[in-house]
Structure 1
Amino acid sequence: MQKLVIAGGGQAGFALAAKARSLCPDSEITLICEEPDLPYQRPPLSKKYLRNEMAREQLYLRPEGYYADQGITLIRGHSARKIDRDAKRLLLDTQALAYDQLALTTGARPRRLPPAVGGDLPGVYYLRNVQDVDRMAPEFQAGRRVLVIGGGYIGLEAAAVAANSDLSVTLVEMAPRILQRVAAPETSDFFRTLHQTRGVDIREGIGLDRLERDKTITARFSDGTAQEVDFVIVGIGIEPNDALARDAGLPCDGGIVVDKYGRTSDRNIWAAGDCTRLPYRENMIRLESVQNAIDQAEAVAANMLGQETDYVPNPWFWSDQFDVKLQIAGLNTGYDRVVVRQAARGGQSNWYFQGERLLAVDAMNDPRGYMIGKRLIEAGRSPEQAQVSDPDADLKALL
């Protein structure tokens, strides 16, 4: 009987455990969760859960009885501390677990402001887990003032929820424009306009010098201005939790390096989800998405049990802000042209090309554009750019 141990109880860890059980009814599976909660979904944390529109139990991927029914040993509230590769044991804070195959699904953590800047002051919040949201939620009272630091998707989603809760919202982004790292100017322009029309004060090209705490928080910015706020939300990206692997001597490069099967340099240790750096086309990348966490974890589960199937990501992402659903297919890395297509009822899709090759699509309230773009990308087909930009052209004909 194989002993499969999974370190990390997020979306990837759960998906890996569930898939391994379906493929091998006789294996001994242990899933280790650092948090005390049952494994849960994270996307609703910054949306419905923060708005108190979803109960905590609704976040759970499965009820508690599922794990016993499936014969999955669930260890909650304990963290993995060290891998003894020679003895094939995973050392926790309270016990040691022997394994035949070990999977690292340790996820990622929010990038924090340095303490010298005020990153640890009371009233400064980071958004990654359910405890973070529980601490932050009482601040969301109409009329209060919030500063959001970071103009990526995490910061913009938090700003949208705050504005919908009748808070006074200021968002600062150090880069020249919001979403600069992940999207084209056309997508940045769309979301800047969306937020500004809903009352969010967006300030681009402005860094934070420091936060000072008295009865309220004073934020001092790189342009010499200052602003008094009641609390701060920091959304400046995430960092992979790869210390466990790195300390065990496994190659890490901004994430745990894995091959096309999800295997590390140790034939008995695997990794999946936000903590990994994996092959994609000609590059090694890290994908921060629920879809990749699930798909990669399920592929790794099969490969741990003896299959040798390549994991080929088909990246897709989404973000909800106000009444706009953004859906993204593909990766835009290396694009040299963006073709904009206007859709019905104010929707829009931005199509990324490298030469004539379609790389990715950002679709804002344009589910049809997203669906067709995604199918084209997955099939390795590229449409005529003139057809894409023509709002009267039938997108379905592109297939």
Structure 2
Amino acid sequence: MISDHLGLTLLIFALAALLALWFWKSKVGNVDRRRDKFAEGLRAIVMGERRKAIKILRETAIEDTSNAEAFILIGDLAREEIGPRKALQIHHSVADRKTLTKAERVRVSKSLAVDYAQMGDHEMSADILERTLKDSKDPWIKDFLLEELEKLGRWEEAFDLLSSSKNAVANKPQLALYKVMMGNSAAESEKYHNARVLFKDAIRLDNECPSAFMRIGDAYYAEGRLTEAVEWWKKFCEKFPKIGWTCFERLERAYYDLSDYGSMITFYGELLAAHEDDFHARGALSRLFERMGRLNDAIATLKASENLPIELELSLLGLLKRRDDIGGDAGELIAKITSRSGTKYSFTCKECGCITGEPAWYCWDCGAWNSFGI
């Protein structure tokens, strides 16, 4: 009797064990199947098959609603295929979950920041990134936050963030540019002394920062301190001879205000003595002589070089025409061409094509640095 009960008990235990084993294998099989499907979705992303990836990841998410990464990826793909608003809706639904791990919360926060940035809400994007940076040292977060702070013109925060980097020495040129942008903001508020302090801070960080030298002169000129403005603009031209021409108009304006065109002529002469192939200086000096009515000096300045670029050759021919050294229809045509070749310059961003009439080192349209070729 006891043996019968024992046999029945053992049978029950055996059946229970088999049932448990079946449930375990079924569960493991489901997990493996979901993992395979998720991996298939990832492969579709890698292959660029976005719509296929969305379909597979949706199936994965339906089977396993706890797979936060699947939902996040669906949102990322929706941003590309549908738009950032749809992505934002999906990512917020994930972010609202109370069961997210720290890594998952960081991951969805990164996606939310991109969503808001693409919608043009850089304030919200930066706010999310700043909060996320407290929980993660992911360099992507810092880099993207810097981009957002730049778009917002929050230069002090960008400076502080980049200063905290371990690679501070290598970042000095960029830190100097941030100081310049901070100085520009101060100058726009007519705080010219503060602006100059910031520009000089930039030079201490990077003595090869041309915009800082130029802007110090601008700040002095704005206060009517012409002599100091000229001093700094001349430093700019001498230190950066290849782009010194971008300051010529500033210098001529200041010397005109000082009623001292003679010093401008002397300065151009000094530049040409140091760099006789400085055709910007040669052309500027010739045009200055022309405006002063000194036609022969304007012609002599150009004739002093045997290898003039085509623009200056046309200018020379135009001057000769005015002096009646050449004539006929050809001379009139040359004069017409010359009259259209003005002395104004424009600067074009190599990244987005934005055009500005002033020397620039940062493109507000696309956020590129040093993209204007100066």
Greater CA radius of gyration, 1 or 2?
A: 2
Structure number with the higher strand fraction is 1
TM-score (norm 2): 0.25
Structure number with the higher helix fraction is 2
Higher RCO (CA 8 Å, separation ≥ 6 residues): 1
TM-score (norm 1): 0.24
